[in-house]
Amino acid sequence: MSDLVTTVLHLPEFGPGLHELTSHVEEWCHHQSMTTGLLTLFLPHTSASLLIQENADPDVLLDLQSCFARLAPQASHYHHAQEGPDDMPAHIRAALTQTHLSIPLLEGELALGTWQGIYLFEHREHAHQRKLHLHLAGV
Amino acid sequence: MSDLVTTVLHLPEFGPGLHELTSHVEEWCHHQSMTTGLLTLFLPHTSASLLIQENADPDVLLDLQSCFARLAPQASHYHHAQEGPDDMPAHIRAALTQTHLSIPLLEGELALGTWQGIYLFEHREHAHQRKLHLHLAGV
Amino acid sequence: MSDLVTTVLHLPEFGPGLHELTSHVEEWCHHQSMTTGLLTLFLPHTSASLLIQENADPDVLLDLQSCFARLAPQASHYHHAQEGPDDMPAHIRAALTQTHLSIPLLEGELALGTWQGIYLFEHREHAHQRKLHLHLAGV
């Protein structure tokens, strides 16, 4: 007899790079009084993405940002250019990471490892305010 | 008291590149008369993949295709070559994207953003007919 | 009236590269006596990841490993270096692949394609023992 709750988080305006969402997401989960289930996060955007990454050393986040800038550089050879030189690289970086994440809920807590955090990865150069859908099904 | 439905879509034969599936998937969801839930798409193939991407400018799809051709080029250094020079790059491009996607269903509609479409990314050079599993759990 | 079961698999110690988990995961699913549902695998680690890939030719696994070593090389330009030269590349390779996978269960069997296997991709140079969460919801 499982239950199902959903919400939309309106995230703060974030500039380019990785921004941790773990405590926002955990706080919402704690209010749903479920003990076991599956949380799914879904980002309705194509130039930002989701990532679970190391939450200990902030240098990891900088290195990730540099690496994705190298894998999907701003360059002059893209056909899609009318939304600015940072838009096509943003779509590629989103394609290489995640639009959705699913994380089990166990004994009322997300099954994240000790060093795992949930991040929004903003790929545009200017700050954007993003929405995030949360879907939790369980008991 | 959640419900659960599944189906298999037999997709049209698609050549290399990104092919939008959004309307096929939405149409099936509309027939399930659920209002809230989670749709999961699962592709039982290893040389094609799934991607949520921008649905507005077709140039985005071409640029994505070029970018993945650059990240995982056809090259002579692969050990796995007996299925043709396009097979190993296809596996790598699939590894860099998605075999499954999960999208919340809210008020009977998928929570896709305005600019988001669901795509099959065919990585082989010759056209293939692919199957797609749909799993919808909700109320 | 769906049911929900979870477990934690304690995987064997694995060295760098791709290690197939399909039979471990299938065996657990078979013991849950469900016929239809959704299995979600979640890896609570940030320097290993999950991948569904070709299970036929072992060369595919070697080529994948080489390719990710090329996309995210050990290099001297990372800021995050105190956990060893293989740690930052491990985080990047994890970001480019998956921390979670969802696979439908149909007639008691995972909907994996004929050539699909479930793999743990260990990105560190030394062998590690990893945990894997399994979450199965269905009927």
CB B2 within 8 A of CB C32: no
In angstroms, the first-to-last Cα distance of chain C is: 7
Total residue length of chain C: 139
Low pLDDT (below 50) residues in chain C:
none
Contacts of C139 in chain B (CB under 8 A): 4
Q: In 3D, which of A104, A134, A100 has the Cα closest to residue A35? A: A104
- DSSP string of A33-80? T-SSEEEEEE---SSEEEEEEE-S-HHHHHHHHHHHHHHS---TT-S-
Q: What is the ipTM of this complex?
A: 0.97
Tell me, what's the pLDDT at C75?
Answer: 87
Interface of A with B in 87-106 (CB under 8 A): 88, 91-92, 94-96, 98-100, 102
* A23, A24, A30, A34: CA torsion to nearest 10: -110
Kind plus residue range of the DSSP H or E element containing A22: helix A22-30
User: C79 in helix, strand or coil?
Assistant: coil
Contact B80 C67 (CB under 8 A): no
Is the Cβ of B62 closer than 8 Å to some Cβ of chain A?
A: yes
Tell me how far apart the 2 most distant CA atoms of chain A are, in Å. Answer: 55
Distance CA A96, CA B21 (A): 20
Instruction: Please give the structure tokens belonging to residue A118.
Output: 């949930």
pTM of the model: 0.98
Phi, psi at residue B23, to the nearest 5°? -70, -35
Q: What is the mean pLDDT of chain B?
A: 96
CB B126 within 8 A of CB B47: no
Residue B1 pLDDT greater than 60, yes or no: no
CA atoms within 13 A on the CB side of A53: 32
CB C47 within 8 A of CB C57: no
User: How far is A110 from chain B, CA to nearest CA, in Å?
Assistant: 18
Contact C133 A36 (CB under 8 A): no
| pLDDT, tens digit, 9 for 90 and up, residues B18-48 | 999 999 999 999 999 899 999 999 999 999 9
The C-alpha angle B89, B92, B98, rounded to 5 degrees, equals 130
Residue B61 pLDDT greater than 60, yes or no: yes
The chains found to touch A (3+ Cβ pairs under 8 angstroms) are B, C
List chain A pLDDT tens, one digit each, 139 residues: 579 999 999 999 999 999 999 999 999 999 998 999 999 999 999 999 999 999 999 999 999 999 999 999 998 899 999 999 999 999 999 999 999 999 999 999 999 999 999 999 999 999 999 999 999 999 9
Distance CA B128, CA B120 (A): 11
Is the Cβ of C40 closer than 8 Å to some Cβ of chain A?
A: yes
B3-138 CATH choice from 2.60.40.10, 1.10.760.10, 2.60.120.460, 1.10.260.40: 2.60.120.460
Superfamily covering domain A3-75+84-138: YjbQ-like (2.60.120.460)
Is the Cβ of B42 closer than 8 Å to some Cβ of chain C?
A: yes
Choice between B116 and A2, residue whose per-residue pLDDT is larger: B116
> Residue A62 pairs with which residues in a beta bridge?
none
Instruction: Please give the structure tokens belonging to residue B4.
Output: 């659960």
Is the Cβ of B74 closer than 8 Å to some Cβ of chain C?
A: no
Domain boundaries, chain A: 3-75+84-138
Tell me, what's the pLDDT at A86?
Answer: 96
Tell me which of B102, B114, B136 to substitute to probe the interface with A (most A C-beta atoms closer than 10 Å): B102
Contacts of A116 in chain C (CB under 8 A): 44-46, 99
